[in-house]
Chains A and B, each alone.
Chain A
């Protein structure tokens, strides 16, 4: 039986018959797409196309996709990394407006784990659908009306050439970058840094703030307050002024 006639006979009783008729036309695409030969690409297709009859998706309509936040958006960024628990509290103030709180600012933080390693975002090649821990110790929160964000993390480790630090990137509510900066840690006897002791590496070869290429010109604006101990965990807090 000639193929086209056979397929047309299937139209009896189908629900979306106009769609099927359309697809059986010679040049039909169900959505407006075309693939050019020069390597540029456009759009997607709901059915396979080749200039002959195409099947159309005929399945029970599934749940519609729902808005999903970026997987950076979480308060607990630990992702199972070992280390001493530390809460991070950052208050964002506006130095263009009497240091009033900046609400609805996006705050990204990221830092290395106890061994001094950063997560790779998602790997350089293909990713698994089981994406646990691919961007450990990276997170994003939005400041509340008091201009504050809080994260749960671990006390960072360190790596050669840098003092212990946390990266911070602050954006306004429309996504414009306000400040890229880093948080520095107090050093010396009785500090959290001393209590943690550099984890398994100790401090052999450690770069202190005064020798650090980012902090050597002064850390007064980037220096955090860190309280607590290795048994109960640590609490870091800092106020950061940005040109909002």
Chain B
């Protein structure tokens, strides 16, 4: 039986023109509209309407991620600090998050269909007890009872263990 560890999960949610859920579409629409506004702060966008080319020519344009992020904070708030999409084996969302990172994977000033963003959600600390087939056995941290409430989480694309802290047994000091 492996030693239990404290971990943080990361789920990187990709949103693009193939996304169908209402929340996803709001995020895509609004981030694209904000991208078109903010990218015009870089005059070279007329010559390089593709974000990939613009960043290549104008490295400073990388901060477009931070400039566009405020367009979607309202939608992040609507999640009430629960990571979307990722379900435990009972079919419920269960992962709490307090930090996230927004990035524009690609975009184009004239072609909305090229706009693709990612939101990485970083979970609150959880205890990882072990792995059964391809399911992680987890619980939220800080449960002080002998019987701990756990979740089974299937390993899946775009979900990772982001950080790990081994739990060490305290040294026994006699005398």
Residue numbers of A with Cβ under 8 A of B are 31-33, 35, 41-50, 54-59, 64-72, 106, 108, 120-131, 134-135, 169, 171, 175-177, 180
Q: A70-B34, A171-B37 known; A129 and B97 CB under 8 Å?
A: yes
Chain B residues with CB under 8 Å of A176's CB are: 40
10 tightest Cβ-Cβ pairs between the two chains A and B: A68-B74, A121-B66, A58-B91, A177-B40, A70-B71, A48-B156, A43-B18, A65-B23, A126-B101, A41-B14
**Inter-chain contact A69/B15, CB cutoff 8 Å:** no
**Inter-chain contact B87/A57, CB cutoff 8 Å:** yes
Interface of B is mostly: mixed
Q: A50-B156, A57-B93 known; A129 and B85 CB under 8 Å?
A: no
**Inter-chain contact B66/A44, CB cutoff 8 Å:** no
Residue numbers of B with Cβ under 8 A of A are 13-16, 18-24, 26, 30, 33-34, 36-37, 40-41, 63, 66-67, 69-78, 81, 85-93, 97-102, 105, 116, 118, 120, 122, 134, 154-158
Q: A59-B93, A65-B23, A122-B69 known; A43 and B99 CB under 8 Å?
A: no
Distance (Å) between the CB of A55 and the closest chain B CB?
A: 4
Given the complex of chains A and B, what is the CA–CA distance between A70 and B14 in angstroms?
Answer: 20
Q: A129-B81, A131-B73 known; A175 and B41 CB under 8 Å?
A: no
**Inter-chain contact A175/B33, CB cutoff 8 Å:** yes
Closest to A138 in B: B70
Q: A50-B134, A55-B87, A67-B26 known; A43 and B156 CB under 8 Å?
A: no
Q: A41-B105, A127-B100, A171-B37 known; A64 and B66 CB under 8 Å?
A: no
Of the candidates B40, B71, B98, which one forms a contact with A129 in the assembled complex, judged by CB atoms under 8 Å apart? B98
Chain B residues with CB under 8 Å of A43's CB are: 14, 16, 18-20
